[in-house]
Structures are given as C-alpha cells and as structure tokens.
Chain A
C-alpha cells in the first residue's frame, strides 16, 4: 500500500533526502494520515452499527413491555390444538412439536423440489440446444409458459385440477387392498418405517460405507493401471448394498454398542463443568491462533519478508478479540457448559436405549395404506405414506417453475463455452456424450452454478406460498400457532431463523462447489 510507504518514510530519518522531499518526510498530521483515518472509520462504523442495534432492541423491548405483549418462547412447550394435513406428526401435542412437524414438511418439499427441479432443468436446458427442431420448440414453449405465469396461479391451477379430476375418497368402496391409492385427498402408498433393529443395522451399513471407500480406491487403481473400465462407483455402491443385505441378518451382533453408549453417558454425567469450559476455550484460542499463524505465513514472501496491510492488521486484531470474547463467554456462562454436558448425556442415553432391543427385532417394517373416518369425512390413516394434493400441487408448481429458470441457466452456461472447445474435442475423436461430460459441462458449470444457487434459494422461499393451497408448511402452521398463543414475534423469529439457516446452508454448499470449479490461471 502506498500509505504504509508514506508512513514508513516519515519515520525514517530524512537527513540524506533531497530538499524536495522535506514536505513528505515531515510528520503527517493525523487528519491527513490515511492509516489513521481508515482505523477511525472502521472503529466508528462498528460502534454505530452496535449502538443502533442496541437502541432498536431496547426500544422494541420497552414498547412490547408497555403494551404487555409477551415475547417468551414458552408456547413451544404448551399444548396447542392443531391438525396438520400430513407429515411426521399430524396431531402434535405442543406448539414446538407442531412447528417442527411443519418444518419437516417444508424441508421435504424443498429437498425433493431442488433435486427434481435440477434434473428437469438440465433436461430442459439441453433440449433447448437440441438439433431437433421439435424438441427445441417444445422446450422453449415450456420455459416461456412456466416462467411467465405467476407461481401462485400455477399452484392453484394444479390444486383445483387435481381435486376436481381425481375420484372422491370414500369408505363405501370397502377397505383398500392395493399398494397404491389415488383420490382427491392425495396419493397413499406403503410406508417403510424404521423399526427397533434399525440402529444396529445402521452400524453394519456404516462399516459397509468404510469398506466401500477402500473398494472404490482399489477398483480405481485397477482402472488406472489396466485401462479396462473397472466401474469403481458401481463396486462401492454394491459393497454398501451387500453390507445392507447381510446386515438384515447379522445386525443383532452389535447389541453391545448400547453398553458403550451407556458408559459414555455416565462419563459425561460425572464430568465437572470445568471440562467443557476448558475445551471450548481451547477450541476458541486454538482456532484463532492457527488462523492468525496461517494468515501471517500466507502473507510472508518466499524470502521471509512479511507484508501486512492495515486491513490485515485489523483482521488479526479482530480475530484475537473474538476468541477472547468467546473464552470469556465460555468461562462466565456456566449454563452453556452444563447444557452441553446434559444434552450429550441425553443423546448417548437415547442411543443406549435404541440399542437395548429384543435380539430378533427387524430394522424395517412396512405398512400398507389405510382409510379412516375420524370426523365427517374419511381420510387416509397413519399407516400409509401419503402425499396430499396440497403437497403435490406445491411440489409440481415449484419444480416446473424453477426448472424453467434452471433450464435457461444451463443453456446459457453451455453457450458460454466457446465453439472451439467442442471443435477441438471433436477433432481428437471424442463422441458427443464424451464431449459433453469431459469438455463442455465442466466448463459450463462455472457459469451455471452461481445463478442456479440463487434459484435453489428462491425455490425454498417459494414453498411458503403453500399456505394458498392449505398445505401444512412452516408458514401455515406458524400462523395457526401464533393465532392460538398470541406469540407473534417469537413465531416470526423462528420463521426467519429457519429460512435463513436453509438459505445459508445452500449458499455454503453452492459456494464450495463454485470455488472448486474455478479455472487456474496465471
């Protein structure tokens, strides 16, 4: 930085300097010194942000107290009267349980939506670039139609079409015998659920996964040495599948793990609070010191010259400060340490109980769909795995809608790879599929990934429109919860935290891939 050069020259004795440099070698006044100005602005900005946050929070707190609005979270533990259309728990006991079941519904919708929208989007994008005129036209019709109709309208169209077109669900047709049942209440299929033996079986599969890693490496080496296609991925999957099958029989052999978990739980119970305090402090200090030392060594030239800008010093100081604050929090806040110990003990206690089963317990069970009539109208019972019409309409709407945008990203990304790349690949004799896989897609992904990550974020947030078709997502259930309990702000806070953590997770994953895709240049 030129500024640091200035300051260093101002410190150096100016005896030998020519007379024209006298002004520069004189001491710079503070209000003109860029380094000082920069530090002052950083600290000032930090102070402004912190005090603004403190001011807003205290104002909000005062006002809420003055109006007698309750903002505590005790409703999470209190009973509510809510019925969810579907999910892990359709009749939750407490507000917390209701919100959790609704979150799972939203997550199911988002994860399934992202997977299917990606697959469909790639197909649409490739189809738009097809040599076949008809395929190209159909794909561009798909894109233009879907992205120009509001998502909410699409959702309602699917919902009303399905409820009108599908047969009514009734008990008069007698008990259902089939594996699959479709009606205007949704689609119900057999539910495979985990049974008592599942955790022992999962241990076998875990061992299988480790084995598969080595099998994959071995097959990869064979492929590299002989050139024959040794399909390492297939072999690895086969290994896992084999362990899974064998595990169905041998899993009771792992009953003793329960005792191990029990011992860990007892150990955690007997530990004093000082242990996690010490551990947390060590982690905080350790992270900070490794980060700083790596940062310093990254900024050291090959000859050992250390050049740090003011920003770098600020970062180092900030990191050290944060670690000290963390140590202070860990030491002063004993509740945190005992919470860690208690929840660790509880976790291992639960695991111990999971392994404490009858030796012949099966890892899985399956149940066929059923129909029950609790109130006026019949509905699907708990036995089957049911996708409601609401879920289906939200799912198809977000998948179709997002696929149009992802398709455009894919098309743009592929077009961004220069024609010369395809020609060079053709000229060395690669086939169409090989060109796509080895030359075009790896380069196109750099362009495709960032905007597609944005589409994933949009998809997750768009599932909140599910409230329009009465699907029990986090927004719909949250609204009911705060209507019943009057805790509007806590529910809104939970909503924000939930969507924020979903979005941040997606961002982190997409960024990680994105960094890996960067081209190495000079």
Chain B
C-alpha cells in the first residue's frame, strides 16, 4: 500500500521471489457444480509480492478458482491457505481472510445507493471500526491515488465504467489488504477505458502488492506478471515465468491458445 517497498524492480524484469513467504497455497483444490467438475486438483503457491496472471479459455475455471480464494465459492476437496490461515467452515477464518484479501470484479459491483466516498469508506468504518473522519480522509487519499478525487460526492451511476472500476479498486484497497484478486477487471470496459484501469493495476503491482489477475489482456500480462498460469477444463495446464511462457511454451494446448490470441 502507501508504505510499500519503494525501490522495487520495474515491471517485466525477472524478480527472484522464491524465498519470499507463501501468501496463497492451494493443494489439490477440487470443486463440482452438480456433475460438472469446475476445478480438478488445482495446486499452486503464490509468494509474497508476486504477480500471477491466470489465463485460459472461457469456462476453464479461472474465475471459480480465484473466487474460492476468498470463499465466494466453496471448494469441496483440497486445502486453501491464505496468509497462514486455512479456509475452512470456521467463520472467524473466513472473515479474517476476506479482510486481508481485496477483490475487484468484472462488473465493478459498486454500491449504487452510496456515493463514491461512502462506497470506499463503508468497510473501514464498519469492519475496521475506524472513525468516520479518518476513514473518509483515507478514502480521499485512495481516490486521489486512482485519479478521481473530484468524483467523491457523485454516485456510481453517474460515473463511466473505467471510473467505476477505479473506485472499486480504491474500495478494495481501503481495507489495506495484503493480497489483491482481480477477476477480469477490464472485460466489461470500452477499449478506451481499459488503459486507465490497467495503469492503476500496474502501479499497484509495482508497489509490491501480492496479486492474482484473471485477464485476457496479453500485453498487460507480459508487462506486469512474474508468472503465468494457463488453465483448461478446471486443471492447470501450464505454469511458467512470463518470459518462458510466451517464448517457449511446453504444452501443445498452450501453443494453440497463444497462436489464437496473439
């Protein structure tokens, strides 16, 4: 966040994060919707400050996986450990994880009955029990960071899609999370607005936030990701550093996907 490590390497450069702390650990995570298996023994570890981009065709389980990590979806087999807290049916663990993990949705999901400032400061006031004045000044600082302080008194319905998504990022950051999850943050945006949102996410990545991003923006993935994970049919097909993933994919399925998308 604001006090994150200042002199991080620039994006795209290969960073050695392997000695960092494990922030997200998934072991053989499986999930079914009725007979349909959405996740099939997904295992992955995400280190502190690492930026991981998840790729894959529609219905490959990317969104389901990322939503399992703050338990918007419940996995049925395997383990998920987030910042040393295992996600079980224990309500206290779930709430702890959710307040440590920020999430940005494809459809923004801002609260339409609250103005922008209240959207951002709602959770700090009611979950972190911050004084209203402090929560609001923090919210203003965050809105400045995502570049829209002048919209603070407006309502979500009065903002453009790109502005709404930036507010959604500010809202997630207001809880001072250690991990950010992005579920296709630019898929519902006009091409012109995609850049303004990606720029915000990029600066966030540079500030050392641990991030998991589901996206179809290949340029963004190349530029920002430390590691890429390619999924299909609920399984992880390939997992590699960004450079190797694009220059030398090992699996045929990955090659096919890249040839179609690039």
Contacts and interface: CB of A to CB of B under 8 A. Distances in A.
A426 B171 CA distance: 12
B107 interface: yes
A223 interface: yes
B104 to A, nearest CB: 9
Interface stretch (A343-351, A383-391, A428-436, A467-475): A428-436
Contacts of A442: 113
A226 B131 contact: yes
Interface stretch (B122-130, B214-222, B237-245): B122-130
B17 interface: no
Interface string B117-147: 0000011011101111111000000000000
Contacts of A438: 111, 122, 126
Contacts of B12: none
Given A421-B109, A519-B113, A428 B122 contact: yes
Interface string B44-61: 000000000000000000
B132 A223 contact: yes
B95 interface: yes
Contacts of B154: 520
Contacts of A443: 111-113
A420 B172 contact: no
Contact of A522 (B126, B157, B172): B157
Contact-residue size bin, chain A (C-beta under 8 Å from the other chain): 20 to 34
Contacts of B110: 424
Interface in A497-522: 517, 519-522
Nearest to B103: A427
A225 interface: yes
Interface in A399-451: 418, 420-421, 423-431, 434, 438-439, 442-443
A428 B171 contact: yes
A358 interface: no
Nearest to A519: B112
A429 B133 contact: no
A423 B72 contact: yes
Given A424-B105, A521-B158, A522-B157, A227 B112 contact: no
Interface string B166-182: 00100110110000000
Contact of B158 (A225, A424, A520): A520
Contacts of B157: 519-522
A224 interface: yes
Interface in A195-229: 223-228
Contacts of A418: 109
A439 B95 contact: no
Contacts of B99: 428-429
Contacts of A225: 131-133
B163 interface: no
B70 interface: yes
B246 interface: no
A431 B130 CA distance: 16
A522 B158 contact: yes
B131 A427 contact: no
Nearest to A224: B132
Nearest to B104: A427
A520 B155 contact: yes
B98 A428 contact: yes
B155 A521 contact: yes
A430 B126 contact: yes
Given A227-B134, A443-B112, A427 B158 contact: no
B101 to A, nearest CB: 8
B130 A227 contact: yes
B126 A427 contact: no
Given A443-B113, A519-B155, A521-B157, A227 B172 contact: no
Contacts of A421: 109, 111
A224 B112 contact: no
A498 B103 CA distance: 55
A443 B109 CA distance: 13
B102 interface: yes
Contact of B131 (A227, A423, A439): A227
**Which of A228, A439, A517 has its CB near the most chain B CB atoms (within 10 A)?**
A439
Contacts of B127: 428-431, 434
Contacts of A223: 132
A427 B98 contact: yes
Nearest to B122: A438
A423 B108 CA distance: 11
Contact of B109 (A227, A424, A429): A424
Give the interface centre of A223, A224, A434 by most chain B CB atoms within 10 Å. Answer: A224
Nearest to A220: B132
Contact of B175 (A420, A424, A428, A431): A428
B111 A424 contact: yes
B95 A431 contact: yes
Contact of A427 (B102, B111, B132, B134): B102
B215 to A, nearest CB: 18
A423 B109 contact: yes
A227 B158 contact: no
Contacts of A429: 95, 98-99, 123, 127, 175
Nearest to B67: A423
Contacts of B103: 424, 427
Contact of A224 (B109, B113, B131): B131
Contacts of A224: 131-133
Interface in B74-126: 95, 98-99, 101-103, 105, 107, 109-113, 122-123, 125-126
A446 to B, nearest CB: 8
Contacts of B171: 424, 428
Nearest to B127: A429
Contacts of A428: 98-99, 102, 122-123, 127, 171-172, 174-175
A318 B187 CA distance: 53
B158 to A, nearest CB: 5
Q: Which of B95, B110, B123, B155 has the most CB of A within 10 A?
A: B123
A431 B135 CA distance: 18
Nearest to B73: A423
Given A227-B125, A443-B112, 16 more contacts: A224-B132, A224-B133, A225-B131, A225-B132, A225-B133, A227-B135, A424-B110, A424-B171, A425-B111, A426-B98, A427-B72, A429-B95, A434-B126, A438-B111, A442-B113, A520-B157
The 9 closest A-B pairs by CB, nearest first: A227-B131, A429-B99, A424-B109, A521-B157, A428-B123, A520-B155, A420-B109, A427-B103, A224-B132
9 contacts: A224-B133, A227-B129, A227-B134, A426-B70, A427-B98, A430-B126, A443-B111, A519-B155, A521-B155
